Structure 1
């Protein structure tokens, strides 16, 4: 348990940020899930449309330190590769 006033304030701030970060993480995961579902169904146009929404979500999450930037880049790269394989 926090004893000093600054530690108590930090605990309150962390609690507020956690709620916001959870919301952003959920939004990001949902965007990625729509791309993965479109890829699984084999619908390239839907996958491309979903990817245009998911890529900025991933990169914004990386900018806001919700996920690491390399993690976001890796996810974008892998999804793009899977979409490209649909064209063949």
Structure 2
């Protein structure tokens, strides 16, 4: 254990930040998992209610990811990568025949 006052304070601050970071990361993982579950539900039964749920869960996950990036819990590139994964999961269910033809 540290004896110097500034070292003691740094230990306390580091512990406080560790717990905050852990909370943000856990929340991001949970919201992403909930979103992927909603996308699977929408894929098996595409209707307006399921789409609304998917959009709500995506908004919640995006919000938490953005907050984690803002508080420097996640690096901005890591946050962007997570958001891209979320968008990519839903994209196949909205592909149009014109888009598929131009991609070929």
* Whole-angstrom distance in 1 between the partners of 2:91 and 2:34: 16
What corresponds to 2:102 in structure 1?
none
- Distance of 2:85 and 2:40 partners within structure 1: 14
Residues 12-65 of structure 1, C-alpha deviations (whole Å, 9 max, x = no match): 111122122211221111111111112233256132221011101111111111
Contact 1:48/1:83, CA 8 A, preserved across alignment: no
With normalisation by structure 1, the TM-score equals: 0.85
Greater Rg, structure 1 or structure 2? Answer: 2
Runs of 5+ unmatched residues, structure 2: 96-104
**Alignment TM-score, normalising by the size of structure 2:** 0.73
- Alpha-carbon distance in 2 for matches of 1:85, 1:48: 15
Answering whether residue 66 of structure 2 is matched by residue 63 of structure 1, we say no
Could you say what the CA RMSD is over the residues aligned between the two structures, in angstroms? 1.7
Q: Unaligned 5+ residue runs, structure 1? A: none
For these two proteins, the number of residue pairs brought into alignment is 88
Give secondary structure in 2 for the equivalent of 1:2: coil
